[in-house]
Amino acid sequence: MKEVLLSPGIYYTGVNDRKKHLFENNWPLPYGVSYNSYLIKDEKSALIDTIEYGSNDNYLNRIEKILGGASLDYLIVNHMEPDHSSMIECVLRRFPEVKIVGNAQTQKILKLYFNIPDSSLLTIKDGEELVLGEHTLSFHLIPWVHWPETMVTYEKTTATLFSCDAFGGFRTLDGSIFDDENDFEADYKGEMLRYYSNIVGKYSNMVQKAFAKLQGVEIKMIAPSHGLIWRGNPSRVLELYSKWCNWESEDGVVIVYASMYGNTAQMADHIGHLLGSRGIRVKTYDVSKTHVSYILSDIWRYKGVILGTCAYNTQMHPMMEHLCNEIKLIAPKNKILSIFGSSTWNCAGVKSLVNYAQELGMEPVCEPFEIMGSAGIEKIEAKAEDFVEKFICNYQK
Ligand code: FEO
C-alpha cells in the first residue's frame, strides 16, 4: 500500500476488514469496517492503537518499513476492545523496547488480556503530555466512550484528535481515507449513525461529558479508530454527534412489526399509508426480516416509533421481543411511541408490548390499535383512522 500521511510525520497504518460478517458478532458489516491505526515518526516514534488480530498479515511489516530501522518507542492504547488492541502482544514481540502507554484503567484491563511485564508499561494521568520531538501528545480520559478505560490522544502541533471509537463508523476506506475526498453524506453517514446507535449511543451521557471536556480545544483534524479521517470539515461530524448524543430526532416515523400470517403486517401498511397521506415520512420494517441493527439506527434517527406484534403463546412475537431488548439496551429518548397488533384469543402480544413500554418509561401516546382474527379491510378501517389521528396529535406537539 502506498503510504498515506495525515500531515508530515503522521502516517495512516490502518487496515480494512471485509471478511468479518458481524462486528462484535452482533452487527452486520455489509460494507466492512476499517481498524484505524496511526504512526507518528519523530525523534521518538509512537503508534496510536493497533488493529484486530488476524485482519492483516502485513501490519507489522508496514510499521517497520515506515520506521526505516528506527525503534518504536511508544504504543498508545486509547481503547482495550480487541478490535484495536488484540495486536498489542505482537507489537511487543516485534518491538521489545516499546513502552505501552495507557491510563490506570487501561493497564488493569491490559493485564486481563496479555502477559506484559510492568517494565513495558507507562501509565499516564488525565491531561498528561508526552513529547515526541516536534509532536507533543496529550491524553484525555473519556470513560465509557466506549469502555471504562477509553481515552483520546491529542497532537498539539497539528491540532489532531485521535478520537478512538468516538466519531467512528462502519464501512471500509476504499480509496482516499479523508472526508474531503469522499462523499460522506451518500456513502458513510448512514453507516456512522448505525455505528453510533448500535455501539456508542447507550453511553450518550458520557459522550456529552466528553464533548464538554473538549470545549475550547482547537481541532483541525479528527482521526477516529473506524471510518473516515476528518480533515476537510471536522465540524460536520462534531455537529452530527452533538445531535445524536442529545437524542435530537429527525421528522419521520419508524413502524416495526412482527407478523406470523400477515394480519399485523396489513395493519402496519395501513397505518403507514395513513401517515404518508398526511405528509409524514415513514419507514416500515418486518422485524423478522431486517436485522435489528438497521432498525435501531432508524429508531435513533426518527421522532416517531410505532411497534406492532401478533400474539405468540402468551407474549409478543420472539423477534419483536429481541428488538425490544435491544431498544432497552441502547435507551433512545424523546420518542413518540404507539402500539398495535393482532391476536386470536388473548390479546397477549399487544399487552406485553404495552407492559414493556411502561417499564421502559416510554408510555404509548394513545390506546393500542388491536384486531382479533383476520385483518379484513373493514376491521382495519374501523379503527386505524382514529389511532393515527391520535398519534399525529402527539407527534406534532
Ligand atoms: Fe472499536 Fe469499542 O471498539
Ligand 1 atom, smallest distance to 146 CA: 2
| Ligand 1 midpoint to CA 84 (Å) | 7
For residue 114, name the pLDDT band (cuts at 50, 70, 90).
very high
Instruction: Quote the CA–CA distance of 390 and 152 in Å, as a whole number.
Output: 46
Instruction: Quote the CA–CA distance of 281 and 278 in Å, as a whole number.
Output: 9
Give me the pLDDT at residue 2, please. 82
Give me the pLDDT at residue 188, please. 98
Give me the pLDDT at residue 190, please. 98
Ligand 1 atom, smallest distance to 168 CA: 1
Give me the pLDDT at residue 128, please. 98
Which ranges constitute the DSSP H helices of 139-257?
Answer: 189-195, 204-214, 234-245
Q: Which helix (H) or strand (E) holds 17?
A: strand 15-17
Give me the pLDDT at residue 44, please. 98
Q: What is the pLDDT of residues 353-389, one digit of tens each?
A: 999 999 988 999 999 999 999 988 889 988 999 999 9
Residue indicated by cell numbers 509512537? 46
| 79 ligand 1 Cβ < 6 A | yes
With 90 as the cut, is the pLDDT of residue 285 above it? Answer: yes
Give me the pLDDT at residue 140, please. 96
| 153 ligand 1 Cβ < 6 A | no
| Closest of 96, 198, 87, 84 to residue 151, by C-alpha | 84
Instruction: Quote the CA–CA distance of 17 and 10 in Å, as a whole number.
Output: 22
Q: What is the pLDDT of residues 202-221, one digit of tens each?
A: 999 999 999 999 889 999 99
Helix, strand, or coil (residue 34): strand
For residue 272, name the pLDDT band (cuts at 50, 70, 90).
very high
Q: What is the percent of the chain with per-residue pLDDT over 90, rounded to a whole number?
A: 95
Give me the pLDDT at residue 375, please. 86
Give me the pLDDT at residue 346, please. 85
Average pLDDT over residues 328-345: 96
| 83 ligand 1 Cβ < 6 A | yes
Q: What is the percent of the chain with per-residue pLDDT over 70, rounded to a whole number?
A: 100
Ligand 1 atom, smallest distance to 150 CA: 2
Q: What is the pLDDT of residues 84-97, one digit of tens each?
A: 999 999 999 999 99
For residue 301, name the pLDDT band (cuts at 50, 70, 90).
very high
Give me the pLDDT at residue 40, please. 98
Q: Per-residue DSSP letters for 342-361?
A: EESSS-HHHHHHHHHHHHHT
Q: What is the pLDDT of residues 214-245, one digit of tens each?
A: 889 999 999 999 999 999 999 999 999 999 99
| 225 ligand 1 Cβ < 6 A | yes
Cβ neighbour number for residue 198 with a 10 Å cutoff:
24
Instruction: Quote the CA–CA distance of 228 and 177 in Å, as a whole number.
Output: 6
Residue nearest to atom 1 of ligand 1 (CA): 165
With 90 as the cut, is the pLDDT of residue 347 above it? Answer: no
Give me the pLDDT at residue 101, please. 98
| 164 ligand 1 Cβ < 6 A | no
For residue 350, name the pLDDT band (cuts at 50, 70, 90).
very high
| 34 ligand 1 Cβ < 6 A | no
Q: What is the pLDDT of residues 3-21, one digit of tens each?
A: 999 999 999 999 999 999 9
| Phi, psi angle pair for 116, to nearest 5° | -120, 130
Q: What is the pLDDT of residues 17-66, one digit of tens each?
A: 999 999 999 999 999 999 999 999 999 999 999 999 999 999 999 999 99
225 CB-near residues (< 8 Å, 6+ apart)? 35, 36, 49, 78, 79, 83, 84, 162, 163, 164, 165, 168
Give me the pLDDT at residue 91, please. 98
| 155 ligand 1 Cβ < 6 A | no
With 80 as the cut, is the pLDDT of residue 1 above it? Answer: no
Instruction: Quote the CA–CA distance of 242 and 80 in Å, as a whole number.
Output: 25
Averaged confidence pLDDT in the chain: 96
Average pLDDT over residues 343-347: 90
Residue nearest to atom 3 of ligand 1 (CA): 81
